[in-house]
A and B are shown apart, each in its own frame.
Chain A
């Protein structure tokens, strides 16, 4: 099962995803681990970022690829990529618009 790493940004609290070049609010830019070895590498990077006080509480999320996009399998994680479903003007869905 392919996975990505998510966490919350320490200072702002926003949902972020581990990308090649650091942490991003755009889920489609997340690095995908397709096997256990790749996942371990990502988790090690995430732990470093947590120790460096960049993010809080990183964990792995199951995803599927849809075209060029990354879609978390669980609805909770799908909502985290966007923001409150009842306030489309708030959260990543408002700030990122078409990027997501």
Chain B
């Protein structure tokens, strides 16, 4: 993991002290709300539907066990005993009091965390593959580049007042778990013919009210050129991005309006015009320095098949089911990546109690070199678990009510907070997710349905990523009541696609039946279990579903 150097620590501590003073001045009336609002937002503090909400950055989703314990402490001491992991690999607390937030920021700084740039028109937390550094299919570990981008973008004076917020995602693997094609900038690592690592640079993707799949502006960018080239993109966006209309201010609109070729020419011209040689040289040394922090832990030399583990698999069907659904191949022999579902049947997606956070921190110390990852699907990951330890880990997870073996299945639903918490929401998301989860509670049924991802957003801003779900749900207001639209066929992976609208919306008490109708059509008409939902959809098209779901009721 990256560790703060003296400069980082000072910078974050100073920032916390600065915010303490700003809060003091707000509370004594020196600052008006109008003056204070941008300052609190720069520190991740929102005023939501019922209370303040503090969004804390988890850089590229990597957490140490001490940090997770500190988050649990914050939840207990200053919040309501739980936190909510978000689709941007961050965590939110829903009930902090304004007067307590300076103490919370100090507590975060003590474990090298902060809430800077989790709001506002700046470069937000860089996100990546939750399996970064350990995925068996990886070209190269993207974390050093994420950290490089984090350091470069933190309080960058030129890019602190962009036309709109800006999100960068990086994947080091060909199978894209980071949804890079639906970010402002997506970076996909691959190798050129000489075997050197570089990035495919994708620009102008995004969800929200105008969803778009990003366009490639460079097929191969040598890794050393990353920061100078991204700087050139940011300069073009900062100069030409629209500031007259909030809804047309994202870079995707600029790329769309002038076309990817014209945009690309502007970037290349800016890149050529700038004096980047020094920056490239600097980046080489800096990446090496940063990469040292991500050196592999002290892995043991283990056999690929642990006899004890194999015996447990044979003896215990529940454990075997969890292993099948929750673990992924690791680069190192004898190790596994273990996913932890934060989607218990009928639970609130992404929520974890302070007790669960402590349990995960303890399990990470015992079985995964003290490291935890946050997935954008709102689950957690222990990236380095010896196969020999999987049974003990599973028992610990079950005890903490974290052993639901539904990863990647129909009840592993992404849901934004929706109107239960969010002031922008037009409808609730969480109760819909809970109801669908209960409807498909039977694990045998879920296994039969297979790879079907449901994402739910409670408004057009699409924090729940509904556009890229196999089955997306968007909550809106229609004639004074909640109404839910279904989209089908979306995908956030390397073959990113936006879902197609099924038809008119459904009332809150109809939406779960409609979802079940979609699933039943798939189960009845697929060629067999080997034909995944998305493949089935691509074969039969939206009309096939329309006819079945909108039969006269």
Contact = CB atoms under 8 A, between A and B. Distances in A.
Interface of A: 8, 10-15, 50, 52-53, 56-57, 73-76, 79-80, 83-87, 90-91
6 contacts: A10-B27, A10-B33, A14-B50, A56-B33, A85-B420, A86-B420
Interface string B93-112: 00111110000000000000
Contact of B50 (A56, A57, A91): A91
B420 A74 contact: no
B33 A50 contact: yes
Contact of B97 (A11, A56, A76): A11
A12 B420 contact: no
A12 B198 CA distance: 49
Contacts of B431: 85-86
Contacts of A91: 50
Interface in B425-450: 425, 428, 430-431, 434
A8 B48 CA distance: 9
B37 to A, nearest CB: 9
Given A11-B27, A80-B50, A74 B98 contact: no
Contacts of A86: 348, 420, 428, 430-431, 434
Given A50-B33, A85-B431, A86-B430, A15 B420 contact: no
Give the 4 A-B residue pairs with the shortest CB-CB distance, closest first: A13-B52, A13-B51, A84-B420, A53-B29
Interface string B500-520: 000000000000000000000
Interface in B390-447: 419-421, 425, 428, 430-431, 434
B430 A15 contact: no
Contact of A53 (B27, B52, B481): B27
Given A86-B348, A90-B95, 5 more contacts: A11-B98, A13-B51, A73-B480, A76-B49, A76-B419
A10 B29 CA distance: 11
A73 B393 CA distance: 50
B420 A87 contact: yes
Given A57-B33, A90-B80, A84 B27 contact: no
Instruction: Say what secondary structure dominates the interface of chain A.
Output: loop
B482 interface: yes
Contacts of A10: 26-27, 33, 98
A12 B96 CA distance: 8
Interface string B70-86: 00000000001000000
A15 B52 CA distance: 10
Given A11-B27, A15-B50, A90-B95, A79 B430 contact: no
Nearest to A14: B51
Given A11-B98, A57-B33, A74-B480, A85 B428 contact: yes
B47 interface: yes
A75 B481 contact: yes
B330 to A, nearest CB: 36
Please indicate which of the listed interface residues B51, B419, B482 has the most CB atoms of chain A within 10 Å of its own CB. Answer: B51
A10 B348 CA distance: 28
Interface string B468-483: 0000000000001110
A24 B50 CA distance: 14
A83 to B, nearest CB: 6
A79 B49 CA distance: 9
Nearest to B46: A13
Nearest to B97: A12
Contacts of A12: 51, 97-98
A15 to B, nearest CB: 6
A10 B32 CA distance: 11
A80 B51 contact: no
Contacts of B430: 84, 86
A14 B99 CA distance: 13
Contacts of A87: 348, 420
A70 to B, nearest CB: 18
Interface in B14-52: 26-29, 33, 47, 49-52
Interface string B105-122: 000000000000000000
A12 B336 CA distance: 44
Contacts of B47: 8, 13, 56-57
B512 to A, nearest CB: 15
Contacts of A50: 33
Contacts of B428: 85-86
Nearest to A56: B33
Contacts of A84: 50, 420-421, 430
B427 to A, nearest CB: 9
A82 to B, nearest CB: 9
A36 B372 CA distance: 57
A71 B33 CA distance: 29
A8 B428 CA distance: 21
Given A50-B33, A53-B27, A76-B419, A83 B50 contact: yes
Contacts of B97: 11-13
A76 B419 CA distance: 7
A29 B363 CA distance: 49
B437 to A, nearest CB: 12
A13 to B, nearest CB: 4
A11 B420 contact: no
Interface in B347-393: 348
